[in-house]
């Protein structure tokens, strides 16, 4: 187990998170290997060159932690910029993962929808959408937003229109909207 004339004992030396606790047999190339304990508690066999020249600092836990930080979403992400982004269509999205309309992958919601729901004090109904009065898609001031209803039955038979109108009246009366 003894090395050659320039053998250096690395026992008890620390390299990053690794502490050398003993010598192992040489690798298949005849170079010494060391038994190391990482600060996370793992034990690893690491070669002299990896420790002294290649800069191995851990059993692999350091890289896993770094990747885990990189893949985090929301305020914990190292790439967090406040949660507001502009879409290619010019709308603003905000990070709101608990919102019912949030995208599953990124937790983003169109800001004008959130502003209108706050203004109304309720969620939007199906068939409702938000219109920007001045046409500027990133101007989400409450006074620039208008609620539009676009649902209607297919076809234009009078009995269908009357049924549809009654449904709309009942929906908005239940929501507390005064109809005159």
Domain stop point among 22, 45, 66: 66
Domain membership of residue 159 as a residue range: 150-180
Average pLDDT on 141-149 reads 92
Tokens standing for 160?
């269908």
In terms of domains, do 144 and 99 share one? Answer: yes
Long-range contacts, stretch 81-89, CB < 8 angstroms, 24+ apart: 84/111, 86/138, 89/137
Any domain includes 2: no
Does 57 fall in a domain? yes
**Is residue 4 predicted with pLDDT exceeding 70?**
no
Q: Are residues 85 and 124 in the same domain?
A: yes
Residue 104 lies in a domain: yes
Query: Does position 152 have pLDDT exceeding 80, yes or no?
Result: no
Residue 5 lies in a domain: no
For residue 17, the number of C-alpha atoms closer than 13 Å in the C-beta half-sphere is 15
Residue 9's nearest CA partner among 166, 24, 55, 168 is 24
162 in the same domain as 122: no
**pLDDT score of 151:** 66
| % of the chain at pLDDT higher than 90 | 39
167: pLDDT strictly greater than 80: yes
pTM above 0.75, yes or no: no
Q: Which residue has the higher pLDDT, 67 or 140?
A: 140
* CB neighbour list of residue 68: distance below 8 Å, 6 or more residues apart: none
Number of domains in the chain: 3
Q: Which of 69-83, 106-120, 123-137, 162-176 has the lowest mean pLDDT?
A: 69-83
Q: What is the pLDDT of residue 48?
A: 87
Asked if 112 and 138 sit in the same domain, the reply is yes
pLDDT at 125: 87
**Is 131 inside any structural domain?**
yes
State the chain's mean pLDDT as an integer. Answer: 86
Q: Same domain for 128 and 177?
A: no
Per-residue confidence (pLDDT) for residue 106, from 0 to 100: 84
Is 118 inside a domain boundary? yes
First to last CA, the chain: 96
Is 9 inside a domain boundary? no
Does 166 fall in a domain? yes
């Amino acid at each position: 187990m003894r090395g050659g004339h320039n053998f250096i004992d690395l026992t008890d030396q620390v390299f990053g998170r690794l502490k050398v606790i003993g010598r192992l047999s040489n690798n298949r190339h005849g170079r010494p290997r060391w038994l190391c304990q990482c600060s996370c508690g793992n034990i690893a066999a690491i070669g002299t060159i990896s420790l002294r020249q290649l800069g191995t600092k851990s059993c692999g836990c350091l890289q896993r932690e770094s990747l885990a930080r990189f893949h985090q979403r929301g305020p914990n992400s190292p790439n967090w910029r406040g949660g507001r982004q502009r879409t290619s269509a010019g709308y603003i999205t905000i990070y709101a993962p608990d919102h019912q309309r949030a995208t599953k992958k990124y937790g983003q919601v169109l800001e004008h929808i959130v502003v209108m729901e706050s203004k109304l004090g309720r969620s939007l109904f199906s068939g409702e959408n938000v219109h920007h009065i001045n046409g500027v898609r990133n101007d989400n001031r409450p006074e620039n937003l208008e609620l539009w209803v676009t649902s209607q039955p297919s076809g234009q038979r009078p009995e269908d229109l009357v049924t549809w109108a009654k449904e709309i009246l009942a929906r908005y009366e239940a929501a507390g909207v005064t109809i005159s």
